[in-house]
Amino acid sequence: MKALCFDRFGGPEVLYLREVADPVGKPGHAVVRLSAIGLNFADVYRRKGNYHLTGAPPYINGYEGAGVIESLGDSDSDFEVGDAVGFADSPYANAERVLVPLEKLIPLPPAVDAETAAALLLQGLSAQYLAADSHRILPGETVAVHAAAGGVGLLLIQIAKLQGARVLGLTSSESKRAAALEAGADQVVLYDENWPEAAKRFAGGGVDVIYDSVGSTLLSSFEAVRTGGHVVFFGMAGGDPPAIDPRMLMDTSKSLTGGDLWNVLRSHAERVRRANELFTWVREGRLRVRIAARYPLAKGAEAHAFLESRGSIGKVLLIP
């Protein structure tokens, strides 16, 4: 089979397509023939060498995809060959086929096709835990969302609105402002404006919580929240975050929480429960999934470059 690989860390140019051995089935696993693969900033971090990565060179990146079960290692399983499934946290997904532990497979309902699942699962599950676990959004709270027109941002805006919050989006261009407003943000501010001050005006002294996936903006995020407010850090798309002085947290009664999806998806039942909530919202039209672009797997380097260019609005998919 073909897989998107890299042998050394670096820019998108280190990625190339090559023939690798098909995955070999084993008990407790299924071989999934992929129809769509989700591309995420975590894959960029792995390619650069500053995020956890499974295996040895040639590395096969990717943790999210959707397709059809081609074979099962167990005859005694709730799954069957031919079932439509997705996953958000199993490695080596940048390939035509992948071996996935059964506990990580999520059954897809008829209303959710493979592209929707690959565009939704990792970022949707991330937005969901951010809004329910990292900081449980309450009706009437004020929420600011960094990278508001990105894959997580657009979904987080919608989920925050479902919880009854007022939402301020932060983004980098007029086209992204329009996308965030379309997703339901009450107001959107561009990064070249004084966005911490805008957040204070939006919420009368600062927002209750800000979700920061940029990293380099972390100190400014603390300026944007009220006294006693909350900063949730869950990504570093703009670079590593600065060190935070605990004295500042004490003096302002502000709090910082880190978030990582890997620490939330602890069991098969938890994966399915959380995914089914997302699927229900999609089926009911309460959660819209936006696909920014589709790239053939062979053009994975172009897909990475596009994602890093900040030109994407929504999810970037790789198609085997």
**Could you tell me the CATH number of the domain that includes residue 97?**
3.90.180.10
Least confident of 67-76, 87-96, 168-177: 67-76
Q: Tell me the helix, strand and coil percentages in the chain, rounded to 5.
A: 35, 30, 40
Residues 159 and 200 placed together within one structural domain of the fold:
yes
What's the pLDDT score for residue 318?
Answer: 98
pLDDT in tens, 156-170: 999 999 999 999 999
Residues 185 and 237 placed together within one structural domain of the fold:
yes
What's the pLDDT score for residue 259?
Answer: 82
Q: What is the band of 50 on the pLDDT scale with cuts at 50, 70, 90?
A: confident
Domain-embedded: residue 54: yes
Residues 11 and 108 placed together within one structural domain of the fold:
yes
Domain-embedded: residue 36: yes
Domain-embedded: residue 127: no
What's the pLDDT score for residue 114?
Answer: 97
Residues 249 and 147 placed together within one structural domain of the fold:
yes
Residues 218 and 311 placed together within one structural domain of the fold:
no
Q: Is 51 helix (H, G, I), strand (E, B) or coil?
A: coil
Query: 181-187 — which CB contacts under 8 Å span 24+ positions?
Result: 183/148, 183/154, 183/157, 183/158, 183/288, 183/290, 184/157, 184/158, 185/145, 185/148, 185/157
Q: Write out the residue range of the structural domain in which residue 188 sits.
A: 139-258
What's the pLDDT score for residue 165?
Answer: 98
pLDDT in tens, 93-105: 999 999 999 999 9
Q: What is the band of 3 on the pLDDT scale with cuts at 50, 70, 90?
A: very high
Highest mean predicted confidence (pLDDT) among 25-34, 68-77, 235-244: 25-34
CB contact at 8 A, 69 and 79 = yes
Residue that finishes a domain, picked among 219, 234, 258: 258
Domain-embedded: residue 131: no
Compute the average pLDDT of residues 218-226. Answer: 96
pLDDT of residue 76 exceeding 80, the answer is no
**Could you tell me the CATH number of the domain that includes residue 207?**
3.40.50.720
Residue that finishes a domain, picked among 226, 241, 258: 258
pLDDT in tens, 182-215: 999 999 999 999 999 999 999 999 999 999 999 8
Domain-embedded: residue 7: yes
pLDDT of residue 75 exceeding 90, the answer is no
Compute the average pLDDT of residues 10-39. Answer: 96
Domain-embedded: residue 55: yes
Q: What are the start-end ranges of the E strands in the chain?
A: 2-6, 16-19, 29-39, 59-60, 65-72, 84-87, 97-101, 106-107, 142-145, 166-171, 187-190, 207-212, 225-233, 255-258, 291-296, 315-319
Domain-embedded: residue 53: yes
Residues 276 and 297 placed together within one structural domain of the fold:
yes
Distances (CA, A) of 118 to 240, 258, 278: 27, 24, 13
Q: Is the dihedral of CA 56, 58, 64, 66 positive or negative?
A: negative
Residues 180 and 287 placed together within one structural domain of the fold:
no
Domain-embedded: residue 251: yes
